[in-house]
Structure 1
Amino acid sequence: MSHDHHHQHGGHDHGDESALADLLDLDAQALPDHLPEVTALIRDHLDDRPVRRILDMGAGTGTGALALAERFPDAEVTAVDISDFMLTRLRDKARAHDVADRIHTRQADLDTAWPDLDPVDVAWASNSLHHTADPERTLADLFATIRPGGLLALAELISMPRFLSAAGELADLENRAHEILTAENAAHVPHVGADWSTLLTKAGFEIQTERHIHIALTSPLPTSATQLAHHTLQRIRTALSDRLSPQDAAALDTLLSPDTLTHRPDLTLRDERPVWIARRP
Structure 2
Amino acid sequence: MPHPHTPQHSAHHDHQHQHQHDGHGSQDGQEDQAEILDLDAEVLAEHIAAITAWLPVRTPPRQIVDLGCGTGAGTFALLDRFPDAHITAVDSSDRHLQRLREKACARGVDDRVRTVRADLDHADWPDLGTPELVWASASMHHMAHPDRALREVHDLLAPGGLFAVVELAGFPRFLPANAPEDRPGLEDRCHVASERFHAEHVPHRGAAWGPKLTDAGFTLDGERTITVHIEGSHNAAVGAYALGSLRRVRYSVADVLPAEDLAALDRLLDTDSSHSILRRGDLTVRTERTVWAARRDS
**Fold shared by both chains (TM-score > 0.5):** yes
Residues 10 and 92 (structure 1), Cα distance of their counterparts in 2 relative to 1, 3 Å cut:
farther
Q: Secondary structure at the match of 1:101?
A: helix
Q: 1:247 to 1:60 in 2, by over 3 A?
A: same
TM-fit CA distance, 1:77: 0.2
**Equivalence map 1:165-184=2 (5 Å):** 165-167=176-178, 172-184=185-197
Tell me if 1:280 matches 2:296.
yes
Structure 2 CA distance for partners of 1:71 and 1:7, relative to 1, 3 Å: closer
Question: Using the alignment, how far apart are the partners of 2:86 and 2:285 within structure 1?
Answer: 33
Could you say which residue in structure 2 is the equivalent of 1:199? 212
CA distance in 2, matches of 1:105, 1:28: 18
Q: Which deviates the most, 239-248 or 223-232? A: 239-248
Q: Say whether 1:241 aligns with 2:254.
A: yes
Alignment partner of 1:266 is 2:282: yes
- After superposition, the CA RMSD in angstroms is 1.9
8 Å CA contact 1:218–1:267 kept in 2: the answer is yes
**Partners of 2:23 and 2:196 in 1: CA distance:** 21
1:97 aligns with 2:107: yes
Specify which of 3, 15, 23 is matched with residue 12 of structure 2: 3
**Contact conserved, 1:221 with 1:267, CA < 8 A, in 2?**
no
SS in 2 for 1:104: strand
The alpha carbon displacement at 1:103 in A equals: 0.4
CA–CA separation in structure 2 for the residues paired with 1:246 and 1:181? 16
SS in structure 2 opposite 1:120?
coil
Q: What is the alpha-carbon distance in structure 1 between the residues aligned to residue 254 and residue 212 of structure 2? A: 35
1:57 Cα offset (Å): 0.5
Q: CA 1:152 to 1:34, structure 2 compared with 1: closer, same or farther past 3 Å?
A: same
Matches within 5 A, 1:70-149: 70-112=80-122, 113-149=124-160
Question: What aligned pairs does 1:31-70 form with structure 2 within 5 A after superposition?
Answer: 31-42=44-55, 45-47=56-58, 49-70=59-80
Q: How many residues align?
A: 278
Residue 63 of structure 1 aligns with an amino acid whose one-letter code is A
| Distance across 2 between alignment mates of 1:40 and 1:185 | 31
Give yes or no for contact 2:197–2:252 (8 Å, CA) kept in 1.
no
Question: Following the alignment from structure 1 to structure 2, what is the Cα–Cα distance between the partners of residues 40 and 258?
Answer: 38
Look up the SS of the partner of 1:224 in the other structure: helix
State the distance in 2 between where 1:171 and 1:97 align: 44
Partner of 2:162 in structure 1?
151
What is the rounded CA distance, in whole Å, between the counterparts of 1:238 and 1:182 in structure 2?
12
Match of 1:187 in 2: 200
Cα offsets for 1:41-86 (capped at 9, x unmatched): 12xx123x14110000011111111111121111110011111111
What letter is aligned with 1:11? G
CA change 1:207–1:221 in 2 (3 A) is farther
Identity level (%): 45
